[in-house]
Amino acid sequence: MSKAYALIPAAGTGSRVGAAVPKQYLEIAGRPLLYYALRSLAGHPRIEQVLVVLAQGDRRFAGCDWREFGGKIEPLYCGGETRAATVFNGLLAARDTIAADDWVLVHDAARPCLGREELDRLLGEVGDEDAGGLLAIPVSDTLKRANRETRVAATEPRDSLWLAQTPQMFRYRLLIEALRAADPAVATDEARAVEGLGLKPLLVMGSTCNIKVTFPEDLQLAELILGSREVAAKKTMRKSSPPARE
């Protein structure tokens, strides 16, 4: 059975969120966003190791407490100028660890709300798909195309349109081949690079809770989602605990 590894590109600055620190280090409940992405992946029994690809001058990662994850995370200080370059560099750095047919799940550092159910579904449904697959959700809102004056130029049909999420899951050999051939300006996610080889990755149903923190208000929404899960988990623990003896 092929092994599964996760890779988190975390070398960006996250300028759109307007913070003084890179987006992956913005905090929710005293923990950086990156912590929650790591927790979702490192806690899954199918995933052997989580590779975190950082900027070469990153000093913040070493200042965080990652002991909870034991030896399951590996920082790689080889980030590039684009997402595609960062992922590609990370794959090259791990070439002695990951076999050609092993799976690599690439996940955004700024998606802190990945649920276990979606991760199980991705690992289960992609299976032996030669083209790999990714989490995504069907578009539900009406889509408008704008002109240069920011006025509606057209209403676009939303049939068969999906919003791509992460993780995106591909064989190591296929992913490194796709990224080597891709234009970094065009390959804004791994699936786009694989599509460039003429393949059609599988769309696996994700969740609206699996949001990407891009703007300041997204951070507040992520905090609400994570907080509600903590409350639900505590209630479940109380219900499953045996009654106290009198």
134 close to 204: Cβ distance less than 8 angstroms: yes
Calpha distance 125→143 (Å, rounded): 29
Residue 245 lies in a domain: no
Residue 154 lies in a domain: yes
CATH of the domain at 189: 3.90.550.10
Two structure tokens written together for 196: 């460039």
Residue 13 lies in a domain: yes
The overall average pLDDT reported for the chain is 93
Per-residue pLDDT reduced to its tens digit, 130-160 = 999 999 999 999 999 999 999 999 999 999 9
Per-residue pLDDT reduced to its tens digit, 57-69 = 999 999 999 999 9
Residue 246 lies in a domain: no
Q: Which of 182, 191, 126, 131 is nearest to 162 (CA)?
A: 191
Calpha distance 209→158 (Å, rounded): 21
Domain, as residue range, for 69: 4-240
Find the mean pLDDT for residues 194-223.
96
In the chain, beta strands by DSSP E: 4-10, 27-28, 31-32, 47-54, 73-76, 103-106, 133-138, 143-146, 152-156, 162-171, 202-205
Overall number of domains in the chain: 1
Residue 92 lies in a domain: yes
Residue 15's pLDDT band (cuts 50, 70, 90): low
Q: Which of 101, 92, 80, 105 is nearest to 10 (CA)?
A: 80
Residue 42 lies in a domain: yes
Instruction: Quote the pLDDT of residue 236.
Output: 75
Residue 200 lies in a domain: yes
Residue 210 lies in a domain: yes
